[in-house]
Structure 1
Amino acid sequence: MDDNGAHNGVDGEPGADGVILLIGCGMRKYREYLLAGAAATHPVWLFTGEEPDWQTPYLTGHTVVDVTDRAAVSAAARELAGRVPVRGVLSWDETLIVTTAHVAEALGLPGAGVDGVEGCRDKFRSRRLLTGAGVAQPRYAWADTAEEALAAAETIGCPVVVKPRGMGASIGVVLAADAGEVAEAFRTADEAGRIGAESYRGGALVEEYLEGPEISIDAAVVDGEYHPMFVARKQIGLFPYFEEIGHHVAADDPLRTDETLLGMLRAAHRAIGYGYGITHTEVKLTARGPVIVEINGRLGGDLIPHLGQLATGIDPARAAVRAALGLRPDFSDTVHRSVGIRFNYPPEDCEVVSVTLPTEAEGLLAAEVLVEPGAELRLPPNGYIARHSYVVATGADRAETAARLDAAAARVGLDRRPLSVPVPA
């Protein structure tokens, strides 16, 4: 481990207010806005696997530690707390939220609770808890083999969704339209799950396919009380896979105050026993009402919280810090507009030569390249999240925002070389 003292404390140490411990940070293009917001709310001490670079201006201090080693992280947290007042601990990295819950518990700090965060991270556990509490769920079954997956699909009825137990970002999630596709869907989900956390490797969930649009809700939870921030409408593509290719957030979305939806979300969080923190819940709006796809014990990815901030003025990083401190949220809308993001994918597996972005387009707020020249992008099932760029735009309403995103995305240029060699098995 390697420590580095404070940048904005006194004599190289934080002041009496102490620090928020942030475990892991993520990629700059996806997470810098959160680190900036957190640092503006409370001094931040980062646990990171390598020396900070772009993060440094936002940090009071840091510790280099293997963040994938729970024992090492816990030991480093106890050592830090022995010399610096640690007031809270948080993470927005899906793979680190269980470790974060263990650290919060060990230090006696507000947190989701180990059981609460496992109710998010372990999708099979989540299904059992929510079903037991009477929260609307798809029909589901667990399968350890392709044969068990086929039997489950025959019981549930096709089409079914086959997914890993503990992955995020829709990695390894496949729609099987009929029995003939189930075995291959199981293989994809099972193999995707084996690159994730050891606790969730092997096997797959087989679930009823839910018809209807999908949304996500980012919220703060304080002492078990659920406080929604904003709703994002999701755009899915690359079927039979479930790549998230876009999102839309509007300050005036009626679902932000829909009591049927909010009542279900409150009941779901009680069922999993989530104490303090931020959650990102994905919901399908079906003919029988809202049904939870999954609860994630972190802020949303894909810049969804940033869209929420652009649309409403609510600072998601500030909300996350306050929840980690055990404080009630203090957010209210200061902006009222419609904002969307579109992620741009290649039409085939390819090597990127260059990407060019529009500098002007109606309603364009941002455009960003996500890959370097030479990057290999592989579409599912050979790879996931094969994005080369994104555009963000605003409009008078959802339809105009979508049209402006279409126009801006059409002006993105991708120079590429096709990849003919398949990814190794």
Structure 2
Amino acid sequence: MARRALILLEGSRYNGPLYIQAAPLLGLHPITLSADPARYDYLASEGIEAIRVDTDNLDALIRECSRLRGTYDIAGITCAGDPFYATVGKLCRYFDLPGPNPTSIERCCDKFTQRQLLAEAGVPIPAYRLATNATDVESSAAEIGLPVILKPAVGSGSRGVRLCRTVDELAEHTTYLLGGKHIWRSSPRILVEGYAQGPYYAADIMGNEVIAISGGNFGPPPHFVYREFIYPAALTDDEQERIADISLSCLRALGLGWGPTGIEFRWTQRGPVVIEVNPRLGGGTGPQLVQQAYGIDLITEHIKLVVGEEWNLRRRHSQTAAVRFLIPDRDGTLDQIGGESRAAAVPGVAEVKLYIEPKTPIVRKGDPRDCIGYVIAASPTHARTEAILQRAVDLIDWSITPFPTLSEHGRPEAP
């Protein structure tokens, strides 16, 4: 009998290893298809089969999967992130496997189209306009009123997203997005969006069921770099119900409801406003936090759905789980970093992860790629979990030497 395989399209720093680890426990052999497998260091460290293929080329992917079917029983195809999730849907339809609706995914991943569909359905969203040049951006911002958010109409991971509070900041970020520094996967299209101010919440959904609602906060503007998430969010039952109801309205408006969805909110003066709908599991450490808080393994349950098995989304316990991301406060060279073993030994700490090693250059980008590690903790109460996190984070220390600056004569000066 041929070995059952799970095909993973590309990977991710956060959730990629979790899919790789969960697959064998379900009797599946994970195989990653990637345009550059070397960019995912966990593939080599785990000894995972990886095949180089142009993942932007659907025909090439069909040929590779057809070739693999000569050796394996392909039980399912999926991915850990949203840039390739529509392609996953197309492959699943071609090979008659369970999968998401690719048309719905494509519409959702185009942030402008997503806004149009949500607005038509009466879902509360910020004011928005689409711009393709600097003049459009300027006029759109004037219509909406500063401050505004500028973001690529297609993209993920908060890349290229910035709060613009003044005309000068607006012009600066427009130049960045259109001047060749931002990498576009398609023709440049910018979403200009009103700034929805208020506490941040996120809903984790599987199928048509809201599994969890978390609260989060960010570092200082103008960027949106996550600092902390906590499950469950500090909401009343009525507030949770409002977010859950709007979440299900989003699914209906966008034709989603198969597999995972992550929806981001700001609770404004007019109540919860949808910031973004992502047709995938919540990014970052969401799956680990849901497992710590409720005992639900979202990765495993998603894989079960992908291979046509019955999933189980029942809560097994209820705790407060939180993550604190480690974010450098300057650019430069990392001199040293340590203390992870001391932090991991703190009672209540579930996981400590460091991504970088000494002598690594650090150039902050103003998005989640700035994260150099994280700590996850869980306990019966919010206050205790926060205290555990703080104690553990305080045990991790690092130092960064700023890059030398050039003097007026072009020679490096001492930092």
TM bin (shorter chain): 0.7 to 0.9
Distance 1:105 1:303 in 2: 30
SS of residue matched to 2:83: helix
SS of 2:245's equivalent in the other structure is: helix
Report the Cα distance in structure 1 between the residues aligned to 2:181 and 2:227, rounded to whole angstroms.
22
Name the count of aligned residue pairs.
397
Name the CA shift for 1:396/1:189 in 2 (closer, same or farther; >3 Å): farther
Distance change (3 Å), C-alpha of 1:349 and 1:146: same
2:84 to 96, 100, 113: 96
Tell me whether 1:370 sits opposite 2:370 in the alignment: no
Task: Give per-residue Cα distances to partners, 1:101-142, cap 9 Å, x unaligned.
Answer: 221122222222121111332111111111112211111001
1:347 aligns with: 329
TM score, norm. by length of structure 1: 0.84
1:418 aligns with 2:411: no
SS of match in other structure, 1:85: strand
Q: Distance in 1 between matches of 2:338 and 2:297?
A: 30
- Does 2:7 match 1:21? yes
- Letter of the 2:401 partner, please give it: R
User: Which residue of structure 1 aligns with residue 110 of structure 2?
Assistant: 122
For 2:127, which of 139, 155, 161 is the aligned residue?
A: 139
Change (3 A) 1:30 1:270: closer
SS of aligned partner of 2:370: coil
Structure 1 residue 146: deviation in Å?
Answer: 2.2
The structural deviation recorded for 1:194 is 4.1
Shift of 1:227: 1.5
**Alpha-carbon deviation of 1:376?**
1.8
The superposition leaves residues 172-225 of structure 1 with CA deviations (integer Å, 9 ceiling, x where unpaired) of 1111113332112323444699424x23x413111011111112222212xxxx
Pick aligned residue for 2:136 from 124, 148, 158: 148
- Partner Cα distance (2:179, 2:380) in 1: 43
Residue number in structure 2 paired with 1:301: 283
CA distance in 2, matches of 1:193, 1:135: 34
Q: Residues 91 and 80 (structure 1 numbering): CA distance in 2 closer, same or farther, change over 3 Å?
A: same
User: Equivalent residues in 2 for 1:209-288 (5 A)?
Assistant: 209-221=195-207, 226-250=208-232, 258-274=240-256, 276-288=258-270
CA contact (8 A) 1:351 1:416 kept: yes
Rounded Cα–Cα distance in structure 2 between residues aligned with 1:110 and 1:415: 48
1:83 deviates by 5.3
Moved over 6 A (4+): none
Deviations 1:371-419 (A, max 9, x none): 12222222245x7622222222224433332343233223321122212
How far apart are 1:289 and its partner, in Å? 2.1
RMSD between superposed Cα atoms in Å: 2.7
CA–CA distance in structure 2, aligned partners of residues 390 and 256 of structure 1: 32
Contact 1:350 1:378 in 2 (8 A): yes
TM-score (norm 2): 0.86
Q: 1:318 to 1:191 in 2, by over 3 A?
A: farther
157, 175, 195: which is aligned to 1:187?
175
- For structure 2, the 5+ residue unaligned runs are 407-415
Name the CA shift for 1:134/1:252 in 2 (closer, same or farther; >3 Å): closer
Q: Which residue of 2 aligns with 1:356?
A: 338
Residue 399 of structure 1 aligns with which residue?
383
Conservation of the 8 A alpha-carbon contact between 2:203 and 2:244? no
Report sequence identity in percent. Answer: 24
Which letter does structure 1 place at the counterpart of 2:202? S
State the distance in 2 between where 1:95 and 1:321 align.
18
Secondary structure of residue in 1 paired with 2:84: helix
1:397 is aligned with what amino acid?
T
2:330–2:400: 8 Å Cα contact kept in structure 1?
A: no
Name structure 1 gaps, 5 residues minimum: 1-9
SS in 2 for 1:53: helix
Q: Structure 2: how far apart are the matches of 1:63 and 1:186?
A: 38
